[in-house]
Amino acid sequence: MSDFETLMFSPMPPLVVEGVAACSRLHKLWEAADREATLAEIAPRIRGIATGGGHATMGGDVLARFPKLEIVSSFGVGYDHIDATWAGKHGIVVANTPDVLNDEVADTTFGLLLSVVRQLPQADRYLREGRWLKAPFPLTASLRGRTMGILGLGRIGRTIARRAEAFGMKVVYHGRRAQDDAPYLYYPTLAGMARACDILVAITPGGPETKNLVNAEVLDALGPNGIFINVARGSVCDQDALIAALRDRKILSAGLDVYADEPNVPRELIEMEHVVLLPHVGSGTKHTRDAMGQLVVDNLRSFISGRGPLTPVAETPWPATRRAP
């Protein structure tokens, strides 16, 4: 048994639990009768943490409880639940699970988009309710001639862009800076891009820097023929502004996989017939979740063996700098 001790705050997929236990001494905090007493006893020895976005939020105050902590291996691409900047300054590496879910999230994006534009869930209900017997389903909007604006042209954003091109759409993008190798037109402001497109796809990381980026001004710029798709984080969009824009028909429709306070979805959204809502299933296939879980394990295993993490995040490049006092 390795003398490297790893903490898991909450249950993770069996593949992760078994894989982490095989390469380190694993502490399952959810099994502790007294969590605080257990934390106090094991914290001085913990060198690794395995976690996920739906688990404990780890700010600097939490990370500081583990004086020997060296790595946090997180399940998912987004890591806004971890203060990676603090971790980087204190010699702790944070690893996430990029790339393995790009195609799945891009597929979900287009499932949402097609469902929104062609009103596929509404058409399904129309048939099931026997209404087709009385009249044909109404004509819908189309993808033809539309421009997609991508907020966040990262790995997943580029995968979405390639699918958009295959559908015959023009693609533009907005982010913190223009990317030299991107073959798409860059807009320095989000509102400017929203005015130039009629499909706005959010696939940017969550966290304080992107909170409420999609606000009333952006939605107004998107316009009455505009469609908003959010497969990023609920925090990226001002949810109240979105509800108002949908209610007042300032935009045509929206397809949402993420929300501000999951799993609580506002009643106003649920009662709107012209939006499509999913329960945060962007990467939710067994194939992809297994690949994500394996990467959590592989990051820890590689680190413990001395080879370093496989996928460290930008704020904590490897090799890590010496821990600050």
**Known active-site residue 247:** no
Residue with tokens 């329960």: 279
- Which is it for the CA torsion 124, 125, 126, 129, positive or negative? positive
Give every strand in the sheet of 185-186, ordered side by side.
185-186, 170-174, 147-151, 199-202, 227-230, 253-256, 275-277
Residue 57: CB atoms within 10 Å: 11
Tokens in use for 153? 């042209």
Catalytic one among 25, 158, 233, 301? Answer: 233
Catalytic entry in 25, 146, 280, 301: 280
Strand-pairing partners, residue 133, are none
Task: Please report, as a single letter, which amino acid is at residue 91.
Answer: G
User: Mind giving me the DSSP string for 311-323?
Assistant: SB-TTS-SSPPPP
Angle subtended at Cα 145 by Cα 142 and Cα 146, rounded to the nearest 5 degrees: 75
Q: Is 233 a catalytic residue?
A: yes
| Pairwise CA distance, residues 88 & 209, whole Å | 17
- CB neighbour list of residue 250: distance below 8 Å, 6 or more residues apart: 219, 220, 223, 224, 244
Rounded to whole angstroms, the Cα distance separating 51 from 171 reads: 35
Give every CB contact of residue 31 below 8 A, 6+ residues apart in sequence: none
8 Å CB contact between 250 and 221: no
The catalytic residue among 262, 274, 287, 307 is 262
Residues 6+ apart with CB under 8 A from 7: 26, 27, 29, 42, 46, 48, 49, 50, 66
DSSP code for 163: H
Query: Is 274 marked active-site?
Result: no
What residues act catalytically?
Answer: 233, 262, 280
